[in-house]
């Protein structure tokens, strides 16, 4: 198995591109069935979800709109990880069915604060779709409606996810190689 160097650490192949495509298509089929006739708004959380969101969007068979948001810690609160601010949501989500598109749910705190913030704007429906979930790390109380893969707690990179900004363009998902 060939390890690759991303910035200054080695990573080994973990989920092949074909397997990702297969699961993304399956999740898209479920969303298309669940949201038939409802014109959902996809809210893709930048930066990590840009690849997943692009592939998922092209597999959906229903009408939808898509916007891109960021979640960042309030200044000076970064270390607590509790207070988060939603950036980039310019349209009203009141009365709309909304599906959040995330790259990975780890502790779940990012998603929990995002959900709390969006709920205050009274969407008609608010669901969570993530490419990856680390169930072993999940601490926040978050209902995950769609998850393509459950993975162990190891650090991964590729298909939009980064290690210190690098590795987002990798077509497969790689896991940190602790032996390299």
Active site residues: 106
Residue 36: how many other CB atoms lie within 10 Å = 10
Tokens of 5: 């160097």
For 32, other C-beta atoms within 10 Å of its C-beta total 15
68 binds ligand IMP (CB under 6 A): no
Measured CA distances, 47 to 23, 24, 52, 126, 161 (Å) = 21, 18, 11, 21, 8
48 binds ligand IMP (CB under 6 A): yes
Which span (33-41, 72-80, 119-127, 156-164) binds ligand IMP, by CB under 6 A? 156-164
DSSP conformational letter for 121? T
Within the chain, residue ranges assigned H as helices are 17-34, 50-59, 109-119
Question: What DSSP character marks residue 172?
Answer: S
Q: Which listed range, 18-26, 31-39, 82-90, 97-105, lies at the site for Mg ion (CB under 5 A)?
A: 97-105
Residue 106 contacts which entry, ligand IMP, Mg ion, none (Cβ below 5-8 A, type-dependent)? ligand IMP
Q: How far apart are CA 134 and CA 106, in angstroms?
A: 5
- CB 92 to ligand IMP: min, Å: 25
**Residue 117, token pair as written in the block:** 């913030």
User: 35 vs 114, which CB is nearer to ligand IMP?
Assistant: 114
Q: Which residue do the tokens 């032996």 mark?
A: 179
For ligand IMP, the binding residues in 99-128 under the rule CB under 6 A are 103-111
- The residue (of 105 and 126) whose beta carbon lies closer to Mg ion is 105
Closest CB 29 distance from ligand IMP, rounded Å: 24
Which of 11, 42, 44, 48 touches Mg ion by CB under 5 A? 48
Task: List beta partners, residue 12.
Answer: 175
Is position 161 an interface residue for ligand IMP (rule: CB under 6 A)?
Answer: yes
Shortest distance (Å) from residue 122 CB to Mg ion: 25
Compute the least distance from the CB of residue 78 to ligand IMP, in Å. 12
What secondary structure letter does DSSP report for 177?
A: -
Residues in contact with ligand IMP by the rule CB under 6 A: 48, 103-111, 155-157, 161
């Amino acid at each position: 198995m060939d390890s690759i160097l991303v910035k200054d650490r080695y990573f080994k192949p973990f989920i092949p591109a074909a397997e990702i495509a297969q699961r993304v298509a399956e999740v898209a089929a479920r969303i298309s069935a669940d949201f038939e006739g409802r014109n959902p708004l996809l809210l893709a959380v930048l930066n990590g979800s840009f690849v997943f969101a692009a592939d998922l969007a092209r597999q959906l068979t229903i009408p939808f709109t898509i916007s891109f948001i960021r979640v960042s810690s309030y200044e000076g609160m970064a270390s607590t990880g509790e207070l988060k601010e939603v950036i980039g949501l310019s349209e009203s989500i009141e009365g709309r069915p909304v599906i959040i598109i995330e790259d990975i749910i780890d502790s779940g705190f990012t998603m929990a604060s995002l959900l709390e913030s969006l709920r205050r704007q009274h969407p008609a429906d608010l669901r969570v779709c993530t490419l990856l979930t680390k169930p072993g790390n999940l601490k926040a109380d978050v209902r995950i409606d769609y998850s393509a893969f459950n993975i162990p707690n190891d650090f991964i990179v590729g298909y939009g996810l980064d290690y210190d900004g690098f590795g987002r363009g990798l077509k497969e998902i790689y896991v940190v190689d602790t032996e390299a």
